Structure 1
Amino acid sequence: MDLDAYVAVHRPEWFRLRYLVDQANRPRKMPSEELEELVELYQRVATQLSVIRSRSRDQAMVDDLSALVIRARAAVTGTADPGWHVVARYFTITFPAAVYARRWWAIATTVLCLLFALACALWVVYDQTAQARLVPSDEVAQLCRHDFASYYSENPAGSFASQIWTNNAWVSAQAIALGALLGVPTLVVLLENSLNLGVVGGYMSSCGESHQFFSLILPHGMLELTVVFVAGAVGLRLGWSIIAPGGRRRSEALAAEGRAAVSIAIGLAVALALSGVIEAFVTPSGLPTAIRIGIGVLAWGLFVAYIWIYGSRAASHGEKGDLEASLREDLAPVT
């Protein structure tokens, strides 16, 4: 059997079954014709799943089709759609697919922000006039000797983690939501954060404390900054959808990007919770610097690998991180 041809022939039935299942889970009553079609398609797709499961090595496709059959069975038998399916689909398909679809925006945003931060750091290090004007020398000495390091340990770790998560989640939410204003406020948020990073790094380097700076920034900062830059990229793309909507109306483009942005914001908040835990418990700990940074590299690597692996799989099946069709409202408000 040519499995690719088999999948290509039956994929439209899967899309139709997904639509009917979504319709069955809505409050309104389904027409009898659609109910009959739902039952028939459920039986056919269940058979197709058994064939594909025995022959395909594409585990993502098997998992997605299995979840569809489970939902269809629930709709046919009248049992509730299992809540875990919604959560599982979000974290294995919707969120990674939405971020993956915007990966080049995220990569470009990350590179440009880090270059800007580096430029600010070099400016502080090599421009003595700017160095003296930005921050008084006594405050710089206090920053290098005490304030920078004590920031991570002066509060109880539990409350510090909560405070960090709240602050970073708010910054990320702003970066995304403000993109609706043509992306300009999002750009300001990104530049402000990059400026702060570069200036502090520049002063720490000018004091001869660059080792301390990186040993305290890298454990949590790799994941945290990546998440903030992804949020900024999402906000910028949201603004760009208004400027250049492509073949869609501006309201349609904004609605589609807005739905994806909300999906991404939720997932990024979870990632920021992890970076907050690292910042509160690992960054100020007595662990050797190499181990602390290694934990940060591991967390960052897992996040990137998760987005790339699950996102690319979902994209190969046509997923873009949008809501399921029947759960969407109209692309634009009725006027």
Structure 2
Amino acid sequence: MDLDVFAAAHRHEWDRLDALLRRRRRLTGEEADELVTLYQRAATHLSLVQSSAPDPALVGRLTTLVARARSAVTGARTPGWRDAALFFTRVFPAAVYRSRHWWVPTALLSTAVAALIGWWVATHPEVQSAIAAPEELRALTRPGGEYETYYSSHPATSFAAQVWTNNAMAAGYCLVLGVFLGLPVLYVLFENMVNLGLGLGLMGSAGRLDTFLGLILPHGLLELTAVFVAAGTGLRLGWTVIDPGPRPRRTALAEEGRAAIGMAIGLAAVLFVSGALEAFVTPSGLPTWARIGIGVTAELLFLVYVFVVGRRAALAGETGDLERGDRSDVLPTAA
């Protein structure tokens, strides 16, 4: 293709398109139709130039022109409060509900592992002696010991921020690293269950299991649920790498990855609530039954949010992915 002849033949169309894009006043109906037609032609011209005679200067001009025209034709949408409300009332709860077949078994199995570790530590003195010296264990488990003072060792506000950051990072690791066949997720999950099991076992062996549960349940129910949701979602993402189903692997990973990123935002909000409970409710002077009641209430509200609000949104077709207009186009594939 003679690039000079091609450019001379179509330059008037490009100049006209540029002039329409620079109009400050509202376009008439005829001008809008002309803009769409010229945009389509310019996109075709760009494709021809890129494939036949990729001149950098001309490609750059046409690329800019086509991008501006596409923005004018399709319109630009700025996310606002409506998008945030839609995310928390439909997208996020539906995504959590849809992944329930992964995170509910993860929660049950992980809880069983933590309980088993706790029983093993509590009933085997040799295991306790391998963990720490007897005087160190007493410092941990005695009344007013480190297990109790941990929750009030820092100002509540800074402690809440620290807890929120640490938990959000753990959840983020589970969601992002799930793409590596889910193996890092299993490591993060097991590490958390070992820490929980050690606390159960050591405090149980000291006859203070009730105190430990009174400290862990007000915030731990919601916090662990968020971690289980993140871990289950990460494992599902890892399984998508192995078995993408009828979708092309790239498409499946893109869809599940976008849902996982959205899940990270939603779980950050959930963990913010659990962090506030851990900083302000757990170390408070409220009776144990009141502190546990607040934690149970927060957990029940989250479960209702997922299994009522999320189920309704999922049945209405919500998948947790971006809105259709915001996704890239994909080619149809045979099942």
Conserved? CA contact 1:101–1:320, under 8 Å: yes
Conserved? CA contact 1:97–1:319, under 8 Å: yes
In the other structure, the counterpart of 1:231 is 230
In the other structure, the counterpart of 1:140 is 137
In the other structure, the counterpart of 1:286 is 285
Q: What does 1:116-131 align with in structure 2 at a 5 Å threshold? A: 116-131=113-128
Say yes or no: does 1:109 pair with 2:110: no
TM (normalized to structure 2)? 0.74
Change (3 A) 1:121 1:95: same
Decide which moves more: 228-237 or 310-319: 310-319
Decide which moves more: 314-323 or 164-173: 314-323
1:80 CA drift (Å): 7.2
Stretches of structure 1 that go unaligned for 5 or more consecutive residues are 1-29, 36-77
**1:248-268 superposed Cα distances (whole Å, 9 cap, x missing partner):** 222221111100000111000
Count of residues in Structure 1 that have an aligned counterpart in Structure 2: 262
Say yes or no: does 1:158 pair with 2:154: no
Distance 1:139 1:80 in 2: 59
Change (3 A) 1:291 1:265: same
Distance 2:213 2:132 in 1: 21
Distance 1:232 1:181 in 2: 13
1:135 CA drift (Å): 2.1
Structure 1 letter corresponding to 2:328: E
Conserved? CA contact 1:251–1:331, under 8 Å: no
Change (3 A) 1:264 1:194: same
SS at match of 1:151: helix
Change (3 A) 1:245 1:148: same
TM (normalized to structure 1)? 0.74
In the other structure, the counterpart of 1:221 is 220
In the other structure, the counterpart of 2:316 is 317
Distance 1:281 1:32 in 2: 61
Distance 1:134 1:201 in 2: 14
SS at match of 2:151: coil
Q: What does 1:1-335 align with in structure 2 at a 5 Å threshold? A: 32=33, 83-145=80-142, 146-329=145-328
Higher radius of gyration, 1 or 2: 2
1:325 CA drift (Å): 1.1
Query: 4+ residue runs of structure 1 moved beyond 3 angstroms?
Result: 30-33, 78-82, 329-332
Distance 1:206 1:265 in 2: 37
Structure 2 letter corresponding to 1:99: V
Conserved? CA contact 1:219–1:278, under 8 Å: yes
Structure 1 letter corresponding to 2:271: L
1:270 CA drift (Å): 0.2
Structure 2 letter corresponding to 1:169: A
1:95 CA drift (Å): 0.5
Change (3 A) 1:330 1:207: farther
Conserved? CA contact 1:256–1:331, under 8 Å: no
1:106 CA drift (Å): 1.1
C-alpha RMSD over aligned residues: 2.3
1:284 CA drift (Å): 0.3
Change (3 A) 1:298 1:185: same
**1:79-137 superposed Cα distances (whole Å, 9 cap, x missing partner):** 97772211111011110111110012111000000000001001101122222112221
Change (3 A) 1:318 1:215: same
**1:156-215 superposed Cα distances (whole Å, 9 cap, x missing partner):** 001000000000000100111110111000010001101110011100100111011000
SS at match of 1:152: helix
Distance 1:103 1:320 in 2: 13
**1:38-76 superposed Cα distances (whole Å, 9 cap, x missing partner):** xxxxxxxxxxxxxxxxxxxxxxxxxxxxxxxxxxxxxxx
Distance 2:253 2:77 in 1: 33
In the other structure, the counterpart of 1:10 is none
Percent identity between the aligned chains? 50
